[in-house]
Amino acid sequence: MTTLRSAALGPLCTTDAVHKAQATLALDLRLPVGRTERLSPSAPIPGRPARPELIAHTLLKPKPLTTVEGRALLVHSVAHIELNAIDLALDVVWRFPDLPEAFYTDWMRIAQEEAKHFMLLREHLCSLGYDYGDFPAHNGLWEMAERTQDDVLARIGIVPRTLEARGLDASPGVKNKLIGAGDHEASQILDLILEEEIGHVAAGNRWYRHLCEARGLDPAATYAQLIAQYDAPKLRPPFNMAARRRAGFDDAELAALG
């Protein structure tokens, strides 16, 4: 019998970006979860297209937003993040067994929302005369997924609560740049993405605290240990405090940001 967790491996292993998103959107959340299954991928994960070329993030250089190419490059960078986010959510679903069924349905729903985001951005990119893969990108998100592959607490503590929460902080600035460049359609897409990403980070906060409670760990002290252990990126302002609060960060966590 096909289960939700085993079905996640299909799009995760798919190499074509558009097909990956479409296959994710086609997954049926009513499938039995299969929470106790021990699964193994039959192909390399994540499936990746031949393009974009993946390079160090320090080598990525913006171009003026006064040009169509510059705006397309910025949209492409966000689309690349969303494609990685599909893989990250699908990977959580298949990789970690023996969690509550709601954990898996939450992350599969998140994968489908990330797929929707990617398709919206890719469609807009095509309207600018470009396509996904036309610009280089970096592999930072998936590199952290590999480093946290043996511990679901580390994965949830660092990926949604740290890396994806940085997206909440960055969104207003990216939106303002696009509005300033006259790309109002892209700014509207970012509004939709921000609203749903708040829910994704909220799920990360909720499940992180659940996992800490199950292990008898203090969430704040454990988070500091995880950041140091996995050499997670340091958070820098500006912070989107309103979005972070809606995503479930408490007063102490917000105050610690400075």
Would 227 be classed as within a structural domain? yes
pLDDT at 85: 97
Q: How many domains does the chain have?
A: 1
Query: Hey, what amino acid is at 97?
Result: P
Provide Rg for the chain, Cα atoms.
Answer: 18
Considering the domain boundaries, does residue 121 fall inside one? yes
Range of the structural domain that residue 65 is part of: 15-30+55-256
Q: What is the CATH number of the domain that holds 195?
A: 1.20.1260.10
Residue 48 within any structural domain of the chain:
no
- Has residue 134 been placed in a domain? yes
For residues 230 and 144, the answer to whether their CB atoms sit within 8 Å is yes
Q: What confidence score (pLDDT) does residue 167 get?
A: 94
CA terminus-to-terminus distance, the chain: 50
Residue-level pLDDT at 1: 65
| pLDDT of the chain, 258 residues: tens digit per residue | 699 999 999 999 999 999 999 999 999 999 999 999 999 999 999 999 999 999 998 899 999 999 999 999 999 999 999 999 999 999 999 999 999 999 999 999 999 999 999 999 999 999 999 999 999 999 988 999 999 999 999 999 999 999 999 999 999 999 999 999 999 999 999 999 999 999 999 999 999 999 999 999 999 999 999 999 999 988 899 999 999 999 999 999 999 987
**Within-domain flag for 74:** yes
Residue 19 lies in a domain: yes
Quote the pLDDT of residue 234: 85
Strand partners of residue 54: 137
- pTM for the model stands at 0.96
Q: Is residue 200 part of a domain?
A: yes
Task: Dump the DSSP string for 185-221.
Answer: HHHHHHHHHHHHHHHHHHHHHHHHHHHHHHHT--HHH
Q: Looking at the domain assignment, is residue 44 inside a domain?
A: no
